[in-house]
Structure 1
Amino acid sequence: MTPTITLVQGDITEQSADAVVNAANSSLLGGGGVDGAIHRRGGPAILEDCRRLRAARYGKGLPTGQAVATTAGELDARWVIHTVGPVHSREEDRSELLASCYRESLRVADDLGARTVAFPAVSTGVYGWPMDDAARIAIETVRTTRTSVEEIRFVLFDRRAYEAFARQMG
């Protein structure tokens, strides 16, 4: 079964989903943008889980393009799937790493049994990925990744991001 892909303009921390994807930094200890918002809104339980992951498996941090799940704390979700997007570079094509964020997040969602997943536009904030290209990679990747997830929801913070993703939807 092919998942339904929907677009929403809004705040990802207000979404009701089985899993909310966090555009995390490799430390897993919170940061700015989506990462900071998820940690603030979800409360201290998320940070506690992230600290446990750092102590147990990710002493040097979560590698770029990978994904790992924690509790969702006080968010209206069961899990937060943390993924580390690549910083955009004009000298090096890092598109595969960005695509990997979406594939790996869906793999983790499948392992958890999640049916609905809310994604932000990974790497488009301080990591500087151009929105149109990020939208193309995100939409192409989730369309071509085998998953048991039934609904993939892109939660886009502003009109510009929403319109970029809408253009890629066709």
Structure 2
Amino acid sequence: MELEVVEGDITQQQVDAVVNAANRGMRGGGGVDGAIHRAGGPAVLEDCIRRFPNGLATGDAGWTTAGAMPAQWVIHVVGPNHNAGERDRSLLTSCYKRALEVADEVGARSVAFPLISAGVYGWPKEDAVAAAVDTLRATPTEVELARIVAFGGSTYELVRGYL
């Protein structure tokens, strides 16, 4: 699998699937989650309500339509909230593994990822990058392109330096 980093807006990526750093409730929120729900429109929320009436557990993943975004699917993952004391790194790496498994289930060959849990959930950015890159490289998948979409120049440089 090819692994790359770009700086930009995950909602505008021309890929088969975008990964959403969601909360357990799966009803929209701030950060990446809010951006994806705004860009995808009401179809994303409607699909979340229908497919995930009880939300998702931390470390798990599931898919919905991408609504009005260029992608076909949104793969929602629930990362650990470091600020709230969820510090088990295996929950963070599980998000990337499960996202690739879900991508394989739906047939997505190109997937755009945010840095999961590295925003408002407060996971230390350097470790978030290492967890993302190492897990994406180590996980068997049919996905041909995994793109990490960095929010901001400093995050882009951090990821680029790790690749």
TM-score by length of 2: 0.96
**What residue number does 1:51 align with?**
49
**Structure 1: distance between partners of 2:86 and 2:161:** 25
Aligned partner of 1:70 among 52, 64, 67: 64
Of 82-91 and 152-161, the range deviating more from structure 2? 82-91
Structure 1 counterpart of 2:101, which letter?
R
Deviation at 1:93, TM superposition (A): 4.0
State, as a whole percentage, how many aligned pairs show the same letter: 55
Please tell me the residue identity of whatever aligns with 2:46.
E
Q: Which runs of 5+ in 2 are unaligned?
A: none
1:156 aligns with 2:154: no
Quote the offset at 1:89 in angstroms: 5.6
Letter in 1 for 2:107: G
Shift of 1:88: 1.4
TM-score normalised by the chain length of structure 1:
0.92
2-side partners of 1:136 and 1:103: how far apart? Answer: 14
* Structure 1 runs of 4+ with >3 Å offset: 89-93
Match of 2:8 in 1: 10
Query: How much has 1:136 moved relative to structure 2?
Result: 0.3
Structure 1 residues 123-142: aligned runs within 5 Å: 123-142=117-136
C-alpha distance in 2 between matches for 1:70 and 1:54: 9
Aligned-partner Cα distance in 1 for 2:14–2:160: 21
CA RMSD of aligned residues (A): 1.3
Which residue matches 1:143?
137
CA distance in 2, matches of 1:19, 1:46: 13
Flag structure 1 segments of 5+ consecutive residues without an equivalent.
none
Measure the CA separation in 2 of the matches of 1:63 and 1:91: 16
